[in-house]
Amino acid sequence: MRNDRLTLLELNGLVRELIEMEMPNEYWVEAELSECRESRGHCYMELIQRDEHNATPVARASAKCWASKWMLVRPYFERTTGQQLRAGMKVLLRVYPQFHEAYGFSWIVTDIDPTYTLGDQARRRQEIIRQLKEEGVFDLQRELHLPLFCLNIAVVSSQTAAGYGDFAAQLADSPFAFHSQLFPAIMQGEGVEQSIIEALNRIYEANGSNEPHFDCVVIIRGGGATSDMSGFDTLALAENVANFPIPIITGIGHDRDESILDMVSHQRVKTPTAAAAFLIDHAQTVLDSLGEAQNRISRQALQKLSTIHHQLSTIQEALPRLFSVVRTRQEARLDQLYSRIAHFVQQKLISRQSTIVSLQERIPMLLDRRLQTESHRLELLAEKLKVLDPALLLKRGYSITLKDGAAVRDPKTLHPGDQIETRLDKGTIKSTVI
């Protein structure tokens, strides 16, 4: 029995020989990196495969890329993908198996296909975009309006990055009274997602209590950072940005395709300085449009004044003519009244004159009639007188005794010596009373 015993080295040696004999080839393997670190020029990785549905690991293995290969593979990968190998990344590796008596089993990496990683990331990005659209939040930020006076700015950046300094300096150099406040966050490597979400939450809380409110948020990442965008391509971060109630401007500096963060933000620019330039330009545009509005108002006012002035002088020119119309009309009325008066006066005089004439005509006739009446009356009186004539009595034998021309009716009126006259029909007797 004892002879059957092997040392661990012997046993492991057997395994090594077996593997070397049975698996002499290299294989292309798809896997997810669960760890990745460099040490003394070599790259040590942990590979994992997860269950498609519940993400629990169903396979796991270590892998190594020796420095001799790594120094070739790594630049190519980074140049192609713009990223460093890191945990969470899906990779396509060319490997051969190695079992080392002291270090155990490991896949030795001889090549990495960066296009596979790119494709996988693109698929994942598409999936995140699809999900954001399905949630209806993809366009929310672009529906926000940047305030006209966008001067209070919350900045999410790493405090030490040169980009933030450039941004702040550029705003300070502008003629506008920008006020920016930094909300520090990790902008590369692990923890980007959580760190930015926390910064946004702090801004949200500050905005609830602080005066004045922030007009916009700027997420910037300084120069010198790698172009590793993977931290910005997560669903949780995109959802936070998309749902944020204040416009977010991203300037996270990269040349490749837009990150999802850029896609959901209100406005993307390439660099922190471009973000500052965008804000300054916006302020300048507003200032210009204010100036233009001012010009338009004064132009309109001047135009209005000149129109009114023109109207006034037109009225002024028309005034004498207008008044002469009034005057002519008034004069016509006066003339009409006067002619009515004249006409009436004339009528009245004519009518009075004709009355007088007719009266005049009636006078001779009336006189004539009167004369006739009187003569008739005279005639009647003459007839009556004729009957009373004393001559007729004298003819019948009566006589009249007169004294001093008056008839004597009583002898007692006579005295002796009085001369009397007795008138007879044919003569007169004169006697003396005895």
Partner 1 sequence: MKQEIKYEAAFAELQSIVRRMENDELDIDQMSEQLKRAQQLIKLCKDKLTKTDEEIKKILAEE
What is the contact surface with partner 1 in residues (CB under 8 A)? 316, 319-320, 323-324, 327, 330-331, 333-334, 337-338, 340-341, 344-345, 348, 352
User: Closest CB to partner 1 among 294 and 347?
Assistant: 347
User: Closest CB to partner 1 among 177 and 322?
Assistant: 322
At its nearest, how many Å lie between partner 1 and the CB of residue 331? 6
User: Closest CB to partner 1 among 327 and 376?
Assistant: 327
In the chain the first and final C-alpha atoms are separated, in Å, by 253
State the greatest distance between any 2 C-alpha atoms of the chain, in Å, as a whole number: 254
At its nearest, how many Å lie between partner 1 and the CB of residue 335? 8
At its nearest, how many Å lie between partner 1 and the CB of residue 334? 5
Q: At 149, phi and psi to the nearest 5?
A: -100, 90
User: Closest CB to partner 1 among 205 and 331?
Assistant: 331
* Count of other CB atoms within 10 angstroms of residue 84: 17
Angle made by CA atoms 15, 8, 4, in degrees to the nearest 5:
90
User: Closest CB to partner 1 among 322 and 414?
Assistant: 322
User: Closest CB to partner 1 among 226 and 324?
Assistant: 324
DSSP bridge partners of 32: 48, 90
At its nearest, how many Å lie between partner 1 and the CB of residue 341? 5
At its nearest, how many Å lie between partner 1 and the CB of residue 211? 57
> The tokens 């490749």 sit on which residue?
256
User: Closest CB to partner 1 among 160 and 347?
Assistant: 347
User: Closest CB to partner 1 among 149 and 323?
Assistant: 323
User: Closest CB to partner 1 among 310 and 369?
Assistant: 310
At its nearest, how many Å lie between partner 1 and the CB of residue 298? 27
User: Closest CB to partner 1 among 133 and 309?
Assistant: 309
* Count of other CB atoms within 10 angstroms of residue 223: 12
At its nearest, how many Å lie between partner 1 and the CB of residue 294? 33
At its nearest, how many Å lie between partner 1 and the CB of residue 307? 19
Query: What letters, b where the CB count within 10 A reaches 16 and e where it falls short, cover 96-116?
Result: ebbbeeeeeebbbbbbbbbeb
At its nearest, how many Å lie between partner 1 and the CB of residue 285? 47
User: Closest CB to partner 1 among 18 and 326?
Assistant: 326
> The tokens 């004298």 sit on which residue?
394
Relative to beta strand 104-112, strand 152-157 is: unpaired
At its nearest, how many Å lie between partner 1 and the CB of residue 332? 11
At its nearest, how many Å lie between partner 1 and the CB of residue 324? 7
